[in-house]
Structures are given as structure tokens and as C-alpha cells.
Amino acid sequence: MTPRMLKQTLEEWSREVHVPADLAGRALRRRSRLRLTRFAGAVSCAAVVAAVALLVPLVVAPRFASPVDTGGAPVVVPVQPYRQTTPAQDVLADTENSPPKTMIAAGRVAVSAYYTWRSRTVAGRKVLDRTWYLLDQVTGSYEKTEWGWAEVAPGLRWAAVLEKDLPVRRIGIFDMETRRVRAWVPVDHPVGGVAWSPDGTRLLATTYDESPDLDMTSVGERRCPPTQAAATPEDPRKPQYPRMTSTSRTGFYVVDVATATSGDFHAVDPCLTDNSNVRRDFRWSDDGALAWERSAIVRRPDAFYDLDGRPHDAPDGYVLTESQAGVSPDGTLLAGRDGMPTKVTELSTGTVVGRQQVLQLRAWADDRRLVALGCAGTCGSEFHNGLVLVGVDGKDMVQLSVYRKNSLKPEAWQPVLTLR
């Protein structure tokens, strides 16, 4: 029995306790026997106190405590490969609270976490500071955490967490049910971001020399050697030009979650791709075989690397996407770029099959519906927005969250969507 289950059981028992109507009479009748039973009562009291002393640490244990010492035995995390299941409730919305207090979900995806942000100055340099809130499926609510970064695995059972003041030298494997860190994974090169593999058994941990959330004005640019830009059908030229990069990214680790081991460090030259962003976290290819870096230049191909850090060709069936939603689960439709109205096209023909009066297409709820960023009213401001569920045909729009008054304002909450 987990601590949370025990706490719930004790609360249920407490609600069943009742005071007998003749309690006063019983007390008077037993007064004469008090001296005879005092010793036995003291023993019983001691037993109850001892029992409570054993139970209380389980009930009120720190929510984010370190894992129990295994005495040097190998750590085993009971992670299982992710399998898509049909959710018990298709749509869950919170249109009363901003940030949300109760679980938001639609179809196969859920808001697994969200963060608020603010800027702070560290040693004269501006850095983006996030406060993370993680979903608690038992209570159906979001809980504030002390982590500097959090990434929830598909299935919503596990999360990878990093402590404040990124980058850090250990990765926590957080149990979303017991609300405890199950294991810490130490690393020699500090990590600033993590991503779960599609099957939820491995992590791609991106390493940095400095905070990946430094403001662009606080980062010293590094000059890359002149190179030929990759040619595309829209831009067949290959001009020589000097490039600059602002990132301190150094490479990545592939973490095996079941054994809580990081494997070898793989260095990746930040000058290999045209991307001037400070945070440049690696993600996984759809098949989980390659590391992937989204291009920061419109219509230029994304970059792929094998799991030893070497540049690699794009995987078979790779589609250059222009939205977070990408290709539909059945592989037939493609979500279009941001900007109202958005559109969905048939992947095989390029035919537009629907347009939606929303700002961004964020994730596929199923083969015919998407979770999107919609704007309030007549869309007087694109920053007055919130999550909605919309059909490919643009109809049957359902509001999922409160429309934020200004999504660019500090402390505005930013949702993270994960397969459930």
C-alpha cells in the first residue's frame, strides 16, 4: 500500500467513526473500574501511539523526498513501454480557473504539466525562471513543485525532473503516483533539458555549459566557421556566409530509465545546424531511433543524429512539419503552420481538407480532432487565448481552459501536452 493510498484509507475510516448516544452513561459505569484498567489502558495507549508514529511518516512524508537508500543495490525503476489506451473520460476541461486547478484533457492527450515564468537577474545576467505544476491523477488537480524543469512521460506515470539553477548534474525519475523521486541519475556534464522516448523507457538529456534559459541579450555569441547553407527546393542557392550561435549546448546522454543509468556522453557541435536559439534541446524521432533538432529556419529541414551523436539522414517517412501537432495518428493528415486561420491538408495529395479559426494547432486528440490555441471572442488580441478542442473541419469547437488575458505576460501559465 502506497502512502497516498494509506492516507485515503485513514480518511475514509475517520468519516465512519461515530459517538454512541449513551457515551456519558458508559463513562459513569466504568469509573469504578478505572483503577483496575489503568495499567492496561496505558499499555493500549502506548501501542496506539507507536502505531501512529509508524503511520504518520508515511502519510506526511515530504512530497518530493529523495529515494530510499537501497544499500548499494542496483536501482530498478518499474517502467513499462507505453501503450495507448482509451481514456475513461474523453474530454476534461477547467474553464473557471486560470491557471487551471483541475485536469484538462481531450482524447489521447492531457495537460500533464504547466509552468509559469518570470525573469530574474543572476550575476548581472537575465535568466528565465520557471515554476512547474505537475498533474496529480489521484486528485485530478495540479500541484506546485520546486523543480527547475519537468517532463512527463507518455502514459502520465513517470516524470523526469531537474533541480533549480539549470544546468544540473543529476536527473530525477519522479513517480507521479507516490509523488516521490524514485531514483537519481548522476551525470558528468550538466543537463538543462530532458525528453522521453516515444515508448517512455529512455530519456534524451541535453547538456549545456551555461543556463539554457539565459536571455539573448545576456549571452555572448560564438562565431561558427563559414559554411554552405543547406539547399532546399524553395532556396536552391548555397551561399557562403559567417554564422553565429548563442547556445552553450554541448551534447546529450541517452538515459535508460529502468536501471537509472546515463550511458556515455555524446558531444554535438552546435555549429552543425542553423539555429541561433539559446535553448536547443534534442527530441526523439517518431520511431525513437534518432535524436532530432527542429530547424529554427522556416522551410529548412530539421537535423537528425544517431544515438552516438553523429549526423544522420532523416528517417524513412519523415515529413517536414510546420506546427506542433504535425501528422495525425493514422498518418493521413498534416496540421498546418501557426496563424489564423490554420489548416489541415491531406498528406498524400496536399489537398486542404479543413480550416480552423484558431491560432495554433498543438496536438492531435484523435484522427479527426485537435487540441489548439484559440482566442477569445472575435480575437481582438491574439495573446488573449486559451486551449480549445476543434474538429478538422473547423466545427464543434469546445473550450478546454480559461482564455489567458495576456499569454506573453510574466506569470502567465504555459501548458504542456502529453499522451495519456
pLDDT, position 6 = 46
pTM of the model: 0.80
What is the grid cell recorded at 171?
536527473
Question: Do 296 and 276 form a contact (C-beta atoms < 8 A)?
Answer: yes
Cα–Cα distances in angstroms (integers) from residue 200 to residues 196, 256, 319, in the given order: 6, 10, 22
CA 373 and chain centroid, separation? 18
The DSSP output letter for 272 is G
Residue 240 is predicted with a pLDDT of: 53
Residues with Cβ within 8 Å of 230's Cβ and at least 6 positions away in sequence, in order, are 238, 274, 300, 301
Query: What whole-number distance in Å separates Cα of residue 186 and Cα of residue 163?
Result: 12
Matching residue, cell 495540479: 142
Find out whether 194 and 149 touch, Cβ atoms under 8 Å: yes
Look at residue 29 in the predicted model and tell me its pLDDT: 42
Of the candidates 366, 371, 262, 281, the residue with the CA atom closest to the CA atom of residue 324: 371
The grid coordinates listed for 296 are: 529554427
Q: What confidence score (pLDDT) does residue 322 get?
A: 87
Q: Which residues pair with 363 in a beta bridge?
A: 371
Grid cell 484523435 in the structure block, residue: 366
Is the bond into 167 cis (omega within 30 degrees of 0)?
yes
CA 296, 199, 364 angle in degrees (round to 5)? 60
Q: Angle CA(117)–CA(255)–CA(191) in degrees, nearest 5? A: 40
* pLDDT tens sequence across 324-344: 999 999 999 999 999 999 999
* Cross-strand bridge partners of residue 106: 91, 109
**Weakly modelled stretches of the chain, pLDDT under 50:** 1-65, 68
**DSSP classification of residue 281:** -
CA 406 to chain centre: 22
pLDDT value at residue 68: 47
pLDDT given at position 73: 66
What sign results for the dihedral spanned by CA atoms 272, 276, 278, 281? Answer: negative
Give the closest residue to 73 by CA, choosing from 259, 256, 201. Answer: 259
CA distance 309 to 294: 15
Q: How far apart are CA 371 and CA 15, in angstroms?
A: 40
Compute CA distances 354 → 108, 331, 335, whole Å.
21, 16, 10
In angstroms, the CA 128 to CA 381 distance is 24
